[in-house]
Structure 1
Amino acid sequence: MNPAILFILGVVFVAIGVAVSIALHEVGHLVPAKLFKVRVTKYMIGFGPTIWSKRKGETEYGFKAIPLGGYVAMIGMYPPNKEDGSVRPSSTGMFQTLASEARSAAHEEVGPGDEKRVFYKLPVWKKVIIMLGGPAMNFLIGLVLTAVLLMGFGVSSPTTTIADVSKCQVKQGETVDPNSAACQLTPAAQAKLQPNDVITGFDGKTVTSWAELTGWIRASAGKAVQITVERGGQSVTTQVTPVLSARPVIGDNGQQAKGPDGKPLYEEVGFLGIGAQTAMVPQPASSVLPMAGENIKQIAGVVLNLPARVVGVAQAAFSSEPRDPNGPMSVVGVGRAAGEVAAMQDVPVQSRLAALIGLIAGLNFALAVFNLIPLLPLDGGHIAGALYEGARRRIAKLFRKPDPGAFDIAKLLPLTYVVAGLLMAMSALLIYADIVKPVNLFG
């Protein structure tokens, strides 16, 4: 298939995945809100002008022109003025006016019989569940997709089948002409091992995995051992003597480890001179949670350092510096990465599809973690406001003081607008950077 068409299909795949993820995030808010009898007036995907909507019961469901998010509108998000119980503007101050106008909008659709269906009158635990529902849905989507990825597609893992046999023993940093007298044959070449040989035995032990075999080879430097391979349907046994060689030390992240001085680490171990073929190996269910946890940990690290990361993106976008491949990306960057994956015709279709599913899973974990930042207008800001309300009510009860009532989160709207402005500016910067200086994920 034409690479351009494959690229477009990859972008469309991710676009649909993002849209579904946003829709389900809002379902995570919608369902508990309805279960707790809050009147939900709107369930919308996107922002701006409405391009399609349909009313079902008391809720209008629809799509808006700008597909960069979504929202669920609930009546009575903010309590009335504490002083007079009014939802109308009662002050000419800028901040007070912002809060009063927000209260008015929140109570516009409150009608007779809705007094007990407003959001602000809910118990704290119900408010937390409603606002936590969106991120929880994204966590669930990410977890399910991780399970599909690991248990259905598997992980690219080395097998016991030989992919290649090195001819010459080469010291780190050196090159040797395989046809010259300087080429000292590797133990594998001396034993005439061949690509596609399946190693079944080593030193009298049955080989069940590449990792197991690697450990035995590394521990057998200078020792002559029997190695058995299956070749063309026949079992062939020969003798090899692994040589002592400096090999890279691999860290827990799968990359070469470095010492305190920043230099790559090596260790003297046994060496044969063979490489393994890889295959997609399904993983057990027990691997899903650890993998999801590792993804969430990495994303949380990016979010915690987001200001510095965004500064790095800005520096790269307006200079010759390269982008950090582990830095934040916009949906444009994710779409571009998806297109590049889909267009890799030298990679099996199964592996490409697995990579695309992995992108959607990671995106959902990122949405969940980002939305839990305790700042309005994010879900985490509403959760923090509800927890603060609960804490001050408990303190008032402990000291036998009057119930302070619902926390007026509308008073934080000036901060909300500042945060929203910063988020829009960050989004614009990331989109620009993803266009002029995209992240190079594939070398």
Structure 2
Amino acid sequence: MVALLTTLGIVLLFLGLLLSFAWHELGHLATAKMFGVRCTEYMVGFGKTLWSKRRGETEYGVKLIPLGGYVRMVGMAPPSEVKDTSDRPLSRWRTMIEDAREAYNAEQRPGDEGRLFYTRAPWKRIIVMAAGPVMNLILAVLLFSTVLMGIGVNERTSEVGTVSECMVVAEEATGECPEDADPTPAAAAGVRPGDRIVEVAGTPTPDWQSASQELREHTGPTEIRVERGGETVTLEPDLVENELPARDEDGEIIYRTDENGREVFDDEGRMIPETETVGFLGITFATERQAMSVAETAVYMGDTLVAVGEAIVRLPSKMPDLFGAAFLGEQRNADSPIGVVGVSRIGGEVMSQPLPLVDRAAIMLNLLASVNLFLFAFNMLPLLPLDGGHIFGALWESLRRKLAGLLRRPDPGPFDVVKLMPLAYVVMLVFVLFSLVVLVADIVNPVRLLG
């Protein structure tokens, strides 16, 4: 059964990724056709075509390598400014540019003069190129909204979930405490699962953060009041000192960082929490699923987008560790970059866990939403051949045309984005190498979301 659920999770998340790529390219296709640009291909994936079907002037299909997709639009580059001179050969740089121009315009045919991409106004080209990433953003918003406002998220409450029976870890085989183990303060004082802590040492505790903070700040005999079966019960556990993970004012664990502010990981690739000596009762707080408001959901997505941007900025610094995990047998850190294989494998891991179906669905949808948020942010980088590179070219063309008008100079014409193709080849080479390293790491040393 575990193998079946694992396979199901891998397939579901893989299909979700393909849908995200297809949804992205649909944005390009729909807006390009809306502005009259002839589109010859709409493909999900790269490489060899596995399946395709022509409808009208566009061929729709799926290719072998599932690392994205593309829409081929006629006339992506303006005509060459190089004159035909047989006595002076083109430089290697210019040859690369003209070869790229020829590839861009290979499918241009008589009658296409009014349907070329480069002839569209800059604002229209910006819309076409931004439509793909924006489609990923829309999908991310829909998925996050479904999880956060529909399904809800597990939030801790001030209700006691479990009570630890002894001060040492119970025996793994039986789950029972050793005979000579001391009971925890909670067990000795008679705290029960289901009790709701409403006051600690005279201080009201309306939520779990305040209850946890008050318990951590006290040691020795401490009066607590709990609601139990509709009645208020007063207990006096003898809180002991214990070294526990440090928490911030919101109750979130504080993790250790190095002198450069980067997270520190243990030998198993997990982040190491800071610790502090605090009061210890011996309970865990119960959780319940609560729906977020629209405002809370917007803040969550904004914070996630900022985190995605920071992760993209840190990608180059992750390469040494990623290479070591892929080829040198080093430990793979929990925040290591992952690709299609890694994300799909995590889907299998999630589906195979003994969790309620709603929890597994929420994790899967949240993961897919985060991937779409990454696709939005990454594709908006102002680098060719990414969408952001084409957007930057259209913005620059619009700016220089307006400046020429203000200065009463001739129209400089369309910006020849193909002149930047040699740099785009470098970007593509780096991306391909990075993707290969991630692929190897995802296969031989995968990130495990649930440990």
TM-score (norm 1): 0.85
Give the counterpart of 2:233 among 233, 237, 240. 237
Alpha-carbon separation, structure 1, partners of 2:418 and 2:28? 20
Alpha-carbon separation, structure 1, partners of 2:257 and 2:421? 49
Alpha-carbon separation, structure 1, partners of 2:112 and 2:402? 27
Q: Is the 8 A contact 2:44 2:62 kept in 1?
A: yes
What whole-Å deviation, never above 9, does each CA across 1:103-156 have from its counterpart, x for those lacking one?
334344444543232111122221111111111111111121111111222222
Give the counterpart of 2:114 among 110, 113, 116. 116
- Which moved further from structure 2: 122-131 or 256-265? 256-265
Q: Is the 8 A contact 1:40 1:74 kept in 2?
A: yes
Q: Is the 8 A contact 1:224 1:240 kept in 2?
A: yes
- Structure 2 residue 246 is matched with structure 1 residue 249: yes
Closer, same or farther: CA 81–323 of 1 in aligned 2, 3 Å: same
Closer, same or farther: CA 351–165 of 1 in aligned 2, 3 Å: same
Task: Report the secondary structure of 2:37's partner residue.
Answer: coil
Closer, same or farther: CA 140–112 of 1 in aligned 2, 3 Å: same
Closer, same or farther: CA 73–205 of 1 in aligned 2, 3 Å: same
Partner of 2:150: 152
Closer, same or farther: CA 387–434 of 1 in aligned 2, 3 Å: same
Partner of 2:211: 213
Partner of 1:333: 342
Alpha-carbon separation, structure 2, partners of 1:299 and 1:284? 22
Task: Report the secondary structure of 1:144's partner residue.
Answer: helix
Give the counterpart of 1:418 among 401, 405, 426. 426
Partner of 2:195: 198
Q: Is the 8 A contact 2:240 2:281 kept in 1?
A: no
Q: Is the 8 A contact 1:43 1:72 kept in 2?
A: yes
Task: Report the secondary structure of 2:158's partner residue.
Answer: strand
- Which moved further from structure 2: 197-206 or 21-30? 197-206
Closer, same or farther: CA 91–144 of 1 in aligned 2, 3 Å: farther
- Structure 2 residue 124 is matched with structure 1 residue 126: yes
Alpha-carbon separation, structure 2, partners of 1:426 and 1:15? 20
Alpha-carbon separation, structure 1, partners of 2:418 and 2:256? 51
Alpha-carbon separation, structure 2, partners of 1:152 and 1:304? 32
Closer, same or farther: CA 302–253 of 1 in aligned 2, 3 Å: farther
Task: Report the secondary structure of 2:69's partner residue.
Answer: strand
Deviation at 1:414, TM superposition (A): 1.9
Alpha-carbon separation, structure 2, partners of 1:253 and 1:99? 56
Q: Is the 8 A contact 1:53 1:60 kept in 2?
A: yes
Closer, same or farther: CA 343–276 of 1 in aligned 2, 3 Å: same
Closer, same or farther: CA 332–265 of 1 in aligned 2, 3 Å: closer
Deviation at 1:70, TM superposition (A): 1.1
Partner of 2:100: 102
- Structure 2 residue 133 is matched with structure 1 residue 135: yes
- Which residue identity does 1:429 align to in structure 2? V
Alpha-carbon separation, structure 2, partners of 1:216 and 1:92? 76
Partner of 2:268: none
- Structure 2 residue 332 is matched with structure 1 residue 323: yes
Partner of 1:174: none
Q: Is the 8 A contact 1:217 1:242 kept in 2?
A: no
Deviation at 1:257, TM superposition (A): 5.0
Alpha-carbon separation, structure 1, partners of 2:61 and 2:277? 64
Partner of 1:79: 78
Give the counterpart of 2:290 among 281, 287, 311. 281
- Which moved further from structure 2: 233-242 or 149-158? 233-242
Alignment of 1:362-373 (within 5 A): 362-373=370-381
Alpha-carbon separation, structure 1, partners of 2:154 and 2:313? 30
Alpha-carbon separation, structure 2, partners of 1:201 and 1:101? 73
